[in-house]
Amino acid sequence: MLWELTLTPIGVIRTGLRVRFEAPHQPADQVRERNVVELFPGRRFDQALQDLAGFDRVWLIWWSNRNGAWSKPLVLPPRGSAKRRGVFATRSPHRPNPICMTPVPLIEISGLNIVVGDCDLLDGTPILDIKPYIPKIDSFPEARSGWVEELEHELSVGPRYTVSIAPLAAAQLDWLKGRWGISFIEKAQTLLELDPTRHRSRRISRLGAGRFKLGCGPWRLIFSVEGDKVMIDSVARGYIESALSAEDAADHILDRDAQLEFGAQWPQS
């Protein structure tokens, strides 16, 4: 029997994460953030929040609304070797029904706004439900974690590549951060230190002759690999001039104005 279910979001979350590249694979407790779940008014959610303030953590149940229709039962995790895994054995947001869950620190509740800590949700993600995190029920420290145990062992050896930044790339990255407040180098460097080889889910593609391109949201990093050394050579825009100049470009291209000005500064980008 096939059922059709109708889900109605209870609100949205406001975070500083604009694109998937900026989102961590899992939230990191050492990063202190303040994100806000904004519940919709007129549905008695103020009463539904009663007694929640006594919990240190809550589960956010959310809808991965930026993914298209599900089609692949095997997915390629972003970390580790390029081996496909059954989607039900992963946390991939590309699922038959893109329902995801994330445990987050609960900081405070103010009216219909719930301030939470670090998370992996993009800004504007629909929230379907909120549940309290109960350690004695939700935590099983001794439980096996399948293939993830192999991955964690592989990653425990630390960075396998040394990443350097060429003067041109350094100047471009400094300009983006100083002029526009755009910075993506920290996550990019972490990814490249682990594995700079071609990988679809890491958005790494080959340019030829030992040169590669890493997609960082609407930006690109051009880098080269020699042995265990990675050199970030330059930054490039993710959109061509005609796309950036289109009449409706400002409505759907992230960092459009920054990309236009970047192109004027570095025409060869």
Lowest mean pLDDT: which of 31-45, 62-76, 100-114, 195-209? 195-209
Q: How far is CA 46 from CA 10, 114, 116, 117, 215, in A?
A: 12, 11, 17, 21, 42
Residue ranges with strand state E in the chain: 11-14, 35-39, 57-63, 74-75, 85-86, 99-110, 113-116, 126-132, 162-165, 204-208, 211-216, 219-226, 229-237
Residues whose CB is less than 8 angstroms from the CB of residue 117 and which lie 6 or more positions away in sequence, other chains included: 27, 29, 32, 33, 34, 35, 104, 105, 106, 107
Question: Which tens digit of pLDDT belongs to each residue from 100-109?
Answer: 999 999 999 9
Q: Kindly tell me the sign of the dihedral angle through the C-alpha atoms of 99, 105, 109, 113.
A: negative
Same domain, 17 and 130: yes
Residue 256 lies in a domain: yes
CATH number, domain at 101?
2.40.30.70
Same domain, 129 and 200: no
Residue 1 lies in a domain: no
Boundary (domain end) residue, out of 134, 153, 172: 153
Same domain, 114 and 74: yes
pLDDT at position 232: 96
The pLDDT-based confidence of 28 (bands split at 50, 70, 90) is low
Residue 2 lies in a domain: no
Same domain, 224 and 192: yes
Measured between alpha carbons, how far is 124 from 105 in angstroms, rounded to an integer? Answer: 19
Residues whose CB is less than 8 angstroms from the CB of residue 108 and which lie 6 or more positions away in sequence, other chains included: 53, 114, 115
Q: What does the pLDDT average to over 183-200?
A: 85
